[in-house]
Structure 1
Amino acid sequence: MNAREHTPNQKIALVTGANKGIGRAAAGQLAALGMTVLIGARDPLRGEDAAAALRAAGGDAHAVTLDVTHPTTVQEAANQVEERFGQLDVLINNAGITGSGQVSPEDAHDQVPSTVDLNMVRAVFETNVFGVIAVTNAMLPLLRRSPAPRIVNVSSHGASLTLTSDPDGPFATLLPSAAYFPSKTALTALTVQYANELRKDGILVNAAAPGYVDTDSNNHTGFLTVAQGAAVLVRLATLGTDGPTGGFFSEDGSVPW
């Protein structure tokens, strides 16, 4: 397929880290809305398996090999989108790591600030912050060709300084984190800066907090399904022209900074 072969009115969406979890659920929901969905995945086989499953369910899905920490694969992915589709309408920056493997936040002892390994912090920021910059900047020329471009950065309620600084708040029982939560705080700040730059171009950029979702990243201790977690991503990816930009949202509404 090239840029002249896909349906002109069919929107193209790229979701990073979409071979499983919230990313895959979001990809499935976008495909169900009639979008052509590009499954960004580090592992080509897992990406193709996810795309094949969406196609089997009636969606238009294609795998794109993409490791957000490797500039070469990021640029190759942008080139592939350029050659096959000519533009991009939706970018969901979903790929992320906790830094502690499949450990729920309350058990992530290796993230306690006073004893944290700096290399782990760097690795988390490399994916969760720098990777988002790399992918966004590579895809911006393609997004600018869309009549209604949308960027969604997948953050976390734990990014909220208001919530995490409250000694009586919902995060009071969790171990302090020097890596994952601060990386998501940086991501929400970055979201605001991109929104400020791109507002004049009609590109809406927002951060999403999916909630505590049952995924590999927390060893399946979450209480929300991946479909429930993906709902806010899809809502922000399909905002109308009067939609917000530079915001931080969950399915329940705005999340405090």
Structure 2
Amino acid sequence: MTTVLVTGATDGLGRALAGELVQAGDTVLIHGRDPRRGEDALASTGASQLFLADFARLDDVRALTEALPPIDILVNNAGIGFGDHREESEDGLELRFQVNYLAGYLLAREVRPPHVVNVSSAGQAPIDFDDPMLTRGYSGDRAYCQSKLAQIMHVVDLAEAGATANALHPATFMPTKMVVDAGISPLSSLEQGLEATLALVRRTDVSGRYFNGLQDARAQDQAYDADARARLRSLSDELLGAKS
């Protein structure tokens, strides 16, 4: 029996994915930030266990890694969308970089699952390693897009290390809480995103790839730059070490 951890599973795509995996017979662990919504998702999906952690606190992520049983598949789905002003996590890091990317990086580094799926985005921007925390000329779009590219760079690295790891843009503006709260009109159905994500969870014949929906696609060029990925790894480990 396969054990799957789905992060950000209290709403939208993560919650739908958890329910589908339970129906398919997998042992499903779900993660959320809010206890009430987490318990509701646990009951509605039929998942085996709920783990609470706020990805804006790295100590919460570390506690999560210590509490988890062995898992076969990690689906990094938790994230936050665009913002109109710069925000920092409780660890003093740019919020979107930490929640969308660094928390998942830490999870994968400590838990070492053999199969990882990162729910990324078609919105991608290269990382400015001179100012990765975007302290100058902040743009919410750029913050979101660089965090999503970092997720893709991460799976390329994981694949090179021997894991089955892929990233995807599941669908465009599904009717999730993130989209609705941003006042954006949905363009895709939740079912479309679910189909694409579930397909990638089941695939073991490809690794280190980026998919746009069900289609193998090309990510932003920096994803394929080995030097840039090495700099991102070094930066990530430095940030995590500095916040230990």
TM-score range, shorter chain: 0.7 to 0.9
In the aligned structure 2, how far is the partner of 1:176 from the partner of 1:64? 29
Q: Is the 8 A contact 1:99 1:123 kept in 2?
A: no
Counterpart of 1:211 (choices 151, 171, 176) is 171
Map 1:228-243; keep pairs closer than 5 Å: 228-240=192-204, 243=205
Verify: 1:155 aligned to 2:123, yes or no.
Answer: no
Read off the aligned partner of 2:149 and give its amino acid letter: T
The C-alpha deviation readout for 1:122-164, integer Å capped at 9, x for no partner, is 1111111211111112221xx2xxxxx3100010111278xxx
Map 1:103-114; keep pairs closer than 5 Å: 110=84
Indicate the percent of aligned positions where both proteins have the same amino acid. Answer: 31
In the aligned structure 1, how far is the partner of 2:110 from the partner of 2:195? 26
Counterpart of 2:80 (choices 84, 97, 105) is 97
In the aligned structure 2, how far is the partner of 1:24 from the partner of 1:119? 27
Read off the aligned partner of 1:98 and give its amino acid letter: G
Read off the aligned partner of 1:63 and give its amino acid letter: L
Unaligned runs of 5+ residues in structure 1 are: 1-9, 101-109, 111-115, 144-148, 162-174
Aligned to 1:107: none
Aligned length: 200
Counterpart of 1:184 (choices 140, 148, 163) is 148
Q: Is the 8 A contact 1:249 1:255 kept in 2?
A: yes
Which structure exhibits the higher relative contact order, with contacts defined as CA atoms closer than 8 Å and separated by 6 or more residues? Answer: 1
Q: What is the deviation of 1:210? A: 0.8
Verify: 1:36 aligned to 2:51, yes or no.
Answer: no
In the aligned structure 1, how far is the partner of 2:24 from the partner of 2:155? 25
Unaligned runs of 5+ residues in structure 2 are: 127-138, 220-244
Give the match's secondary structure for 2:208.
coil
Q: Is the 8 A contact 2:115 2:165 kept in 1?
A: yes
User: Structure 2-normalised TM-score?
Assistant: 0.74
Q: Is the 8 A contact 2:22 2:45 kept in 1?
A: yes
Aligned to 2:235: none
* Cα RMSD after superposing both structures: 2.3
**Distance change >3 Å, CA 118–CA 95, structure 1 → 2:** closer
Map 1:36-185; keep pairs closer than 5 Å: 36-55=27-46, 60-82=47-69, 87-100=70-83, 110=84, 117=86, 119=88, 122-140=94-112, 143=113, 149-159=114-124, 177-185=141-149
Give the match's secondary structure for 1:157.
coil
Aligned to 1:172: none
Pair member with larger Rg: 1
Q: Is the 8 A contact 1:215 1:221 kept in 2?
A: no
In the aligned structure 2, how far is the partner of 1:238 from the partner of 1:66? 26
In the aligned structure 2, how far is the partner of 1:64 from the partner of 1:90? 16
In the aligned structure 2, how far is the partner of 1:51 from the partner of 1:118? 30
Read off the aligned partner of 2:26 and give its amino acid letter: M
Aligned to 1:106: none
The C-alpha deviation readout for 1:193-234, integer Å capped at 9, x for no partner, is 12212x2xxx20000111111112122622222232122222
Q: What is the deviation of 1:118? A: 7.0
Verify: 1:13 aligned to 2:19, yes or no.
Answer: no
User: Structure 1-normalised TM-score?
Assistant: 0.71
Verify: 1:252 aligned to 2:243, yes or no.
Answer: no
Map 1:197-208; keep pairs closer than 5 Å: 197=161, 199=162, 203-208=163-168
The C-alpha deviation readout for 1:74-111, integer Å capped at 9, x for no partner, is 233233322xxxx21110000111142xxxxxxxxx3x
The C-alpha deviation readout for 1:19-56, integer Å capped at 9, x for no partner, is 0011111111111111111110011221111011122x
Q: What is the deviation of 1:16? A: 0.5
In the aligned structure 1, how far is the partner of 2:189 from the partner of 2:24? 19
Q: Is the 8 A contact 1:151 1:206 kept in 2?
A: yes
